[in-house]
Amino acid sequence: MVARPEAASPKSVAGEPEPTLRADAVGFLDALVIGLAATSPAYSLAAVLGPVVALVGVHAPGVLLASFVPMLLIAGAFAALNRADPDCGTTFSWVTRGLGPWAGWIGGWAITMTGVLVLGSLAEVGVRFTLLAVGLDGWADSTLAVRGLAVVLVLVMAAICVLGIELSARVQNGLIVAQTVALAVFATVAITRGIRGDSPFGGLTPAWTWLDPFGAGGSSLTGGLLLGVFAYWGWETAHNLTEEITDPRSAPGRAGVLSTVVLLLTYLGVATAVVSFAGTAWLAGHADQEEAVFALLSTGALGGWDWVVLLAVATSAIASTQTTIIPASRTALSMARRAALPRRFASISARHRTPDVSTWWVAGVGIAWYIGVGLISENALYDSITGLSLLIALYYALTGLACAVYFRRRLLVSVRNFLLLGVGPLTGAAMLAWLLVLSVRDLADAENSYTGQAWLGVGPPLVIGVGVLVAGALLMLWWRYRDGAFWREQASVAD
């Protein structure tokens, strides 16, 4: 096989090895929690459930079930590639192995920029819902106060990431418990009141037919799947801890696959409860309010205990603010180690054994994007998040394709290999590529954007998504001109 050159141990000026990420710092459960937190389950559900119901009605749980399929298939590809190459750069490293340095660089760029685009918005949701939960509604209505506190939150979470992955794991453990308990209380009360008919919105009795994703028709299904993929996005963060986890070759893969299953069960349970409690007409009528839907539902379901749901969304967004930094910073670290980015991004704190420079860069650029785009308009900020679908589908699809290509010599060794290393990843990649094309088509229509006005003749989310990819391609070409070392690597194949 033609393997990529193994990265030499970095040397300091004095000739001593530079610090590496702290091995055995976290365990399997820590990785599972961080993978779950990165998806921000409560926030994701609050953001997508209304729009999905507007498209498919009571079949929203079925669409979330269908969206799980490509995620599970790609999670299998991540697990297989992690066993072959346990690298914190994940998609960047693996796509470079399977498809070569050009595709690998773009995959790494896509992962890093998804974190940058969404970081400030997650922090804003965390701040706003925390203020609502503690009764500071006036502060929550102040754009200046919310954005100022959101910037502070990003800086605090970046500092926690730098101080150590162990501290990050402890913070996430606490946040996921609070989020899970709050969601469980809300879902239990909501579905009970929906079944009893004791709902101010009417209420519906759940039925097994709700799990049929095809019940609302093909065009509605494709739109719902685009939203569903966003809801699952983030589980792969467990793989970015591969150099810091006990049993690095198998634990991240198990955590990634299990996190998608846990998310499926959570989404099906909460979605069924919300549809049963609120009904389809009310949810569809409030689809444009996204995460605010849960704030409105909480009062109707829990009365004076509405802070429970507000707490769920707040802790979900706060947790994801931190975990979003982890994959972006470690991908940048991996790229810099291989000379795909300037060497300074490979800096690791000698004291804390974390990627300090790349972490602060991710936080700084994320804040600049959040403030800069927010000054244009709040709708432009929402459109930038919508544009994430392009980047997410791209790097997931690249990873699935790279898995099948890299393991191509093993595919006919056994039926298991054929299915798990070939058919599964390729099917997941094909589904995501299909969704990518549909996403481009839908985002091209300015009527589908929050801004409602065309940029360069198309919808702002498409301009932002394609613009980020074009900026990455230009940066890649510039860096290839400055330092071509990374581009001397060649694609390889597993024996």
Q: How confident is the model over 382-394, as pLDDT tens digits?
A: 778 777 888 888 9
Query: Which pLDDT belongs to residue 303?
Result: 64
* 342 and 330 Cβ atoms separated by less than 8 Å: no
HEC readout, 19-38: CCCCCCCECHHHHHHHHHHH
Query: Which pLDDT belongs to residue 424?
Result: 95
* 113 and 436 Cβ atoms separated by less than 8 Å: no
> What does the DSSP 8-state code read for residue 450?
S
**How far is the C-alpha of 135 from the C-alpha of 37, rounded, in Å?**
25
**How far is the C-alpha of 191 from the C-alpha of 428, rounded, in Å?**
33
At 225-250, the pLDDT tens digits run: 877 888 888 889 889 999 889 988 89
Q: Mark 441-465 as b/e (b = at least 16 C-beta within 10 Å).
A: ebbbebebbbbeebbeebbbbbbbb
Find the DSSP H helices in 197-306: 218-232, 251-285, 292-302
181, containing H or E segment: helix 165-196
Query: Which pLDDT belongs to residue 8?
Result: 40
Give the count of beta carbons closer than 10 Å to the beta carbon of residue 209: 10
Query: Which pLDDT belongs to residue 299?
Result: 67
Give the count of beta carbons closer than 10 Å to the beta carbon of residue 30: 24
Query: Which pLDDT belongs to residue 17?
Result: 61
pTM: predicted TM-score of the whole model, two decimal places: 0.89
Task: Walk along the chain (495 residues) in steps of 10 and give the mean pLDDT of each run.
Answer: 41 55 86 84 80 83 90 94 93 95 96 90 90 86 92 94 83 78 81 79 81 73 78 89 90 90 89 84 70 68 69 84 90 94 91 91 94 83 80 93 95 94 95 87 78 82 90 95 91 85
Query: Which pLDDT belongs to residue 445?
Result: 81
Superfamily name and number for 28-482: Amino acid/polyamine transporter I (1.20.1740.10)
What are the residue ranges spanned by the domains of the chain?
A: 28-482
Q: Could you tell me which of 61, 152, 57, 110 has the C-alpha nearest to residue 466?
A: 110
**How far is the C-alpha of 180 from the C-alpha of 380, rounded, in Å?**
31
**How far is the C-alpha of 430 from the C-alpha of 387, rounded, in Å?**
20
Residue appearing with tokens 């000698």: 350
Q: Mark 70-105 as b/e (b = at least 16 C-beta within 10 Å).
A: bbbbbbbbbbbbbebbbbbbbbbbbbbbbbbbbbbb
Query: Which pLDDT belongs to residue 287?
Result: 64
Query: Which pLDDT belongs to residue 10?
Result: 46
